[in-house]
Structure formats: C-alpha cells, structure tokens
Amino acid sequence: MKICILAPRFPLPECGGDLLRINYIARYLKSQGHQLVLVSYTEELPDIKAANELYDKIYTVKRSKIASAFYSALFMLMGRPIQCGYYYSFSFNTLFQKVIKAENPDLYISHLLRMVPFLEKAKLQEKSIVEMTDALSKTYALTTRTKGSTLLRYIYMIEKHLILKYEKYVIKRYPKVVLVSKSDIDFLSANMKGQHIESLEFHANGVECPSEISDHIDTKKICFIGHMQSLQNQDAVIRFVNDIFPFILAKKPDIKFHIVGAHPPKSILKLDNGKNIFVTGFVDNLNKYVIDSCIAVAPLQAAAGIQNKVLVAMANGIPVVLTPLVAKAIPELHDGENCFIRDDNQSFADACISLLEDEEIRERMIEKGRLTVIEHYQWHSKLKGYELLR
C-alpha cells in the first residue's frame, strides 16, 4: 500500500516528541511493507538524505511567514483553529494536489489536526487517518493557567474553544482518529456525549529501549527533557527552578539541573546561571546526554497524552519524579514502585532528595522503570494495525 503522510514540520532532526512519534509510525509502516510518501513544510534546509532512509518519496515546500500570519487571522475569523491557518498555504495545497495525481496514494495520514484542511479540500476523508495524538482542547484549557510566554497563553485562551469545535468535527467526519492516551479518548468521548466516537482509536507512544544502560550515574545531575517551545514545558521548568529546586539545593547545594530540549525561549535561557542550572538547547544525541542523570523530573501542571520524556528516561535507566497529571496517562506507573508521583513542591523535592541519597531506592526504580517500558511500551506493539481503517 502507498501511504501519504502530511507533516507540518520536516521530521528530521527529531527535536520534539511529535517528530519522534511520526517517524516511529513511519518505521512501523515500512516494516509492514508499505511505501511512504512524505509531503512536508520546511523552515530551514531539510536533511533530505537522512529522511530518504525512511521515506520513499519526499515533497517539500517552505513555509511562508506571511502566509502563516494571513491564514491564521483568516481561520480565526472563520471560527476555525488558528494553528490550522498557521500551517495553511496555497503553495502547500498546490503541491499536495500534484502529489495526489502523481502518486495516487491508497491512504493518507494527517500528522496532527493542523494538516486536516488539505484533506478536506481534496475530499479525501474516507481514505484518511487523523493522527491527532493529544486532545489539544484539554491541554490548552490547562495551559492558560500556566507560566511562560504571555502571547502563547492568550492564543491558547482563544484556541481552546476553536480546537474543541474542530476536534468534534473531525471525529464525526473521519473513519479513524488516533490518540495516545485513553484519558484523552475519555475526555473527547464525554464532549461528544458518547455519539460518533467509533472513529477514536488508541495507539500509545512507545520508546526504543537501549540494550544496556550506563553504569556511571552522576549523583549530582537532575534533568528535564522536552521541546522548549511548548508552553507546558516552559511552565514545568519555571516551576521546578523557582518552587522545587531551592528545597533540593538547601540540602544538596552541589546539585545541577540540566534543561534539555530544542528552541528554548529567552525566559528559559535566562535561567542558565552557569553554576547549577544549564540550558542545552537541541542536542544531537539525547540518550547520550541524559543517560548519566540521577533523576529525570516532569513537574508538568498542564499536559495531555503520554509524555515521551517519561518513557525515554525510564528506558535509559533514569528514575522519574512526575506529577499525577502526567502519571494518569501511563496506567502502569505506581508511586513508590517504578517512579515517584508527587504534586506539591515540598514532597516533589523530598522525592528527588530520596533518589539522590538512597542508592537502594534508586536501583529499584531503575530496574522496575525499565521493566515497565520493556513490557508495555515497545513501539511495534503499540502501533500494530495502525494503517487499518474501520
């Protein structure tokens, strides 16, 4: 089968969980013998050579900032999601029409809601899967109460209503809508009042588990993993630095906190003091950079879906301290067994201190955390049957 994937961002380098996921979906589809056609926006010079190792045909068009601004405003005035307008353009649509004629794909996958308008215009609903990933309306509703970019927060306040309306529209119109968390499926089902929900399908995130983990642990290193353009991640990092880390430093003054993720804004960059807080930006090899960490933290107060940062850490043998909101999407997590689940600032810090000081607790978390990933979150098993329409 020939499968066409529409992507708002070129999938390499893998500098975010969304890109990691679409590439693993592509790897799974290739393993099933399918031919893949990628149609993607680019913003910089794309690494076509690397992408050709996964995608059989690649078509790209550069995203225009002028077009993004124009269509963002137009879509908002039309009562449609701003992000769909941000990623809409005449040039992409023209390219996509050419791809349809030249390649005649059997199946189309929209990577995230923002690419659905192109499928709508081409009337391809019955041959399409919408890789929604998360219930964005849920995320945006939570994110409006977080810290970080003020502009993004205002946009999310407007966008949450437009997104929910569009999510409901897509669920009614498309034969398969994929989410990574059962809690997000429950959220959308409730908003649909239990009607027209047959299209909702669960394909959780997975992770590549390295065959070996580091035998060297830096007991002075705590890390946070995440794409830093995300307001949820910005809020989590600011919360940790301002409200949790001081409790840890009071007992462990030589501890260092590493913020690892692409595109950190000024509000995050200024946290780097060169002493005990370090902002890396994008790193070529994420696993190599974080593998010696003693702890990975996920103090998110706004999130939807499964957070890859948690699975990546556990796969690499890094104990995780996370909030109940994050843990809810991963039902195999159990407080005190394979992770620490904490909400208030003091108890979150205390859990981190326990892992820093107690080797026995740390070793137990490492072993049970990795076992959880190996048994429940291998990519191939999570994506089985992905390409099958109802």
Question: From residue 273, how far is each of 170, 278, 333 by CA, in Å?
Answer: 46, 7, 34
Tens of each residue's pLDDT in the chain, 390 residues: 999 999 999 999 888 788 989 999 999 999 999 999 999 999 888 999 999 999 999 999 999 999 999 999 999 999 999 999 999 999 999 999 999 999 999 999 999 999 999 999 999 999 999 999 999 888 877 765 555 556 666 777 888 899 999 999 999 999 999 999 998 999 999 999 989 999 999 999 988 888 778 778 999 999 999 989 888 899 999 999 999 999 999 999 999 999 999 989 999 999 999 999 999 998 888 888 899 999 999 999 887 677 889 999 999 999 999 999 999 889 999 999 999 999 999 999 999 999 999 999 999 999 999 999 999 998 888 999 999 997
How many Cα atoms are found within 13 Å in the side-chain-facing hemisphere of 305?
24
User: Within 10 Å of residue 100's Cβ, how many Cβ atoms?
Assistant: 17
Whole-number average pLDDT of the chain = 93
Listed residue (170, 161, 157, 171) closest to 120, CA to CA? 170
Please return the burial class of 160, using the count of CB atoms within 10 Å of its CB with bins 0-12, 13-18 and 19+.
buried
Edge-to-edge strand order for the sheet containing 218-225?
A: 277-281, 256-260, 218-225, 293-298, 320-322, 340-341
Backbone angles phi, psi at 104, to 5 degrees: 45, 60
pTM of the model: 0.83
User: Within 10 Å of residue 288's Cβ, how many Cβ atoms?
Assistant: 11
